[in-house]
Structure 1
């Protein structure tokens, strides 16, 4: 039976929620399509936000990228890591402060992303405190978002029930995954609107948010 003392864990999407790396993905996608003589619009790029990488790779193949699916995924992952090295890691406003608040409150945290595990570990390693108890990439789960599997795996990795978890997401695909898993789900819009995808609450920014805000929403939802 769930205790109403507060959530035991917060599960973080990464790209667009923890870090504003979506523009890095768009740069990589655009360069790759153009290398094969194609055109990649901003609208094309937005359609991939929150997708699993295999689906995105197949769409890029349809746009003319003549490379195997796995090669596309590894190429884009390398591109994002290189851009982080050159330009820095663009943490979303308020994200690190909220992470510190959660850690101080003794609430477990995990990254649950569709990016490769190695990219997620790289990003987590750039935070100057012990921010996460677990890191799960898209290559760590059998079925991608919008299936519930990634968030269920995140809860399992932390040794908690999904009923005791809060999820933070910036994409419709991610929100559908979080909501269907049973986690209390918060939408944090970035590049795309999140209305109508089942979020328990929409937070337009993480600035000023603390563990107390997360706990209150969880309690209000579970009451």
Structure 2
């Protein structure tokens, strides 16, 4: 509980996005999408960013299907994207700066954590194998909710699995899509943009790096919502 010496308490839980937040994989996802686009005689540009970064495999596959007019099915494109991305992730799992230090501090303070990803379970499990699954109390992948980001479902599900009110949790995200999901779920949101800029808004705290995040900051984010 807060006291005079420490006027904040840790959040009830911290819910982490995966790609681009904890591990440096957003560029791998873009590469996978760009390679498939090339096969479809397309070239990805900044206009494609909202339909690629932070999105589920099925969404990006549907976008490429519409944009190219290909005879290949959306299911085929999604399978290709998933296979390519999984292969790239298996070869390159690099934690984002400050990620492991923050997870270590949360573990020491016994703050529950969740991994909340829009990536397929097989990609999540690849990352967990490299990063360590024991960092997280619960993990959710794209298949674990009916709707994935930007819908609030993944963060609502993570809070429910932990038995917590989303408002008592901090969500950590790196894309506008993920921020929209966490904000709609009612979480306090800490945003550390990786590739796409995130606009300042009420309820959204922006940092340049997870190296700037600590327990005091996370605690203040939820404490301010209880005032």
TM-score, length basis structure 2: 0.88
Q: Is the 8 A contact 1:115 1:137 kept in 2?
A: yes
Moved more, 41-50 or 199-208: 41-50
Matched, 1:156 2:160: yes
C-alpha displacement of 1:16:
1.2
Matched, 1:80 2:90: no
Measure the CA separation in 1 of the matches of 2:58 and 2:81.
12
Report the secondary structure of 2:31's partner residue.
helix
Matched, 1:25 2:29: yes
Matched, 1:138 2:142: yes
1:41/1:5 Cα in 2 relative to 1: closer, same or farther (>3 Å)?
closer
Moved more, 15-24 or 46-55: 46-55
Report the secondary structure of 2:131's partner residue.
coil
C-alpha displacement of 1:35:
1.6
Moved more, 69-78 or 199-208: 69-78
Q: How many residues align?
A: 219
Q: 1:118 aligns with which of 103, 119, 122?
A: 122
Measure the CA separation in 1 of the matches of 2:48 and 2:87.
23
Matched, 1:173 2:180: no
C-alpha displacement of 1:77:
2.3
Q: Is the 8 A contact 1:17 1:168 kept in 2?
A: yes
Which ranges in structure 2 are unaligned for 5 or more consecutive residues?
1-7
1:79-114 deviations in whole A, cap 9, x for unaligned? 22211233x212211111111111111111111111
Match of 1:92 in 2: 96
TM-score, length basis structure 1: 0.89
Moved more, 140-149 or 33-42: 33-42
